[in-house]
């Protein structure tokens, strides 16, 4: 019966083929990724990506702001240190080139240097800059008051990015008699962020902290802290009196 056997074999082959086709269809339904992403899967992917961006973005911004603030603090430190070194170079010149009171910062008398109040105004007609900017260049012949800030331009574009307060105490020996400059004194330099196009906020004396900063240079109450505040003793090494002052810790 070869004909019947051929028919049976043909039917069996068709049944097996149908089963395989049905199994493949079921497998495709169970694994839709083989046919592409469904709408729900796209929405889930978008939500995951959005949440990831929301979580990562604030730390990135915070790190960037902290890095910028740290760079500004380093620049402020360089400004303050350069001013102290400038005054020290004047005082430590050879005895044949003595210095005068007008070459030193303005005096606060016997007040404590570190606790002396912050400046209140900016001397806009003055500018500390490496370029000729059409303003009186600091340092100049006349003293800057202890309550005034000196605008500082660090990149030579004639726009101040910082402002510094420079002052000293009366020093030793007491210069009240005559006009002789002190042989030893304490100097203070505070450097603040500054924008000539904005009103000067209330300044404080406590140095700003750089930990976890958000990039804001002003406090919540609108006040502004110095990016750097340096205090140092300067003594005339050519004078015996300055050695006595330092030894006795006379300010």
Q: Compute the Cα dihedral for 99, 102, 105, 109 and give only its sign.
A: positive
Q: By three-state DSSP, how is residue 122 classified?
A: strand
> What is the structure's pLDDT at 244?
63
125 burial type by CB count under 10 A (0-12 exposed, 13-18 middle, 19+ buried) = exposed
pLDDT band of 8, cuts 50, 70, 90: very low
**What DSSP designation does 134 have?**
S
| CA distances to 114, 142, 243 from 98, in Å | 28, 18, 17
Please check whether residue 241 is in contact with residue 183, taking contact to mean a CB–CB distance below 8 angstroms: yes
More confident residue, 101 or 36: 101
Please check whether residue 181 is in contact with residue 168, taking contact to mean a CB–CB distance below 8 angstroms: no
- The pLDDT tens digits for 235-247 are 887 776 666 666 5
- The pLDDT tens digits for 148-178 are 999 999 998 999 999 999 999 988 876 554 5
Residue 4 in this model has a pLDDT that exceeds 70: no
pLDDT band of 22, cuts 50, 70, 90: very low
Between vectors from CA 192 to CA 164 and to CA 102, what angle results, nearest 5°? 10
126/200 Cα distance (integer angstroms): 16
The region, left, alpha or beta by phi > 0 then psi within -120 to 50, assigned to residue 215 is left
Please check whether residue 242 is in contact with residue 184, taking contact to mean a CB–CB distance below 8 angstroms: yes
Instruction: Report the half-sphere exposure of 18 (CA within 13 A, side-chain side).
Output: 6
**Nearest CA among 83, 217, 220 for reference residue 150:** 83
Cβ contacts of residue 99 below 8 Å, gap of 6+? 90, 91, 93, 181
**With pLDDT > 90 as the criterion, what percentage of the chain qualifies?**
39
């Amino acid at each position: 019966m070869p004909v019947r056997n051929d028919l049976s074999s043909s039917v069996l082959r068709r049944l097996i083929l149908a089963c395989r086709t049905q199994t493949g269809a079921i497998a495709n339904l169970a694994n839709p990724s083989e046919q592409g992403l469904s709408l729900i899967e796209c929405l889930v992917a978008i939500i995951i990506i959005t949440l990831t961006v929301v979580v990562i973005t604030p730390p990135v911004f915070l790190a960037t702001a902290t890095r910028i603030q740290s760079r500004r603090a380093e620049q402020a430190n360089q400004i303050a240190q350069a001013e102290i070194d400038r005054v020290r170079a004047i005082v430590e010149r050879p005895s044949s080139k003595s210095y005068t009171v007008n070459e030193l910062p303005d005096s606060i008398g016997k007040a404590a240097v570190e606790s002396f109040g912050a400046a209140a105004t900016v001397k806009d007609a003055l500018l500390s800059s490496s370029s000729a900017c059409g303003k009186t260049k600091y340092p100049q012949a006349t003293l800057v008051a202890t309550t005034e800030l000196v605008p500082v331009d660090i990149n030579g574009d004639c726009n101040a990015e910082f402002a510094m307060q420079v002052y000293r105490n009366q020093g030793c020996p007491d210069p009240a008699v005559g006009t002789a400059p002190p042989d030893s004194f304490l100097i203070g330099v505070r450097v603040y962020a500054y924008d000539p196009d904005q009103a000067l906020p209330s300044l404080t004396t406590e140095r700003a902290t750089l930990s976890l900063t958000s990039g804001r240079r002003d406090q919540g109450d609108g006040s502004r802290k110095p990016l750097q505040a340096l205090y140092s003793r300067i003594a005339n090494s050519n004078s015996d009196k300055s050695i006595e002052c330092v030894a006795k810790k006379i300010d």
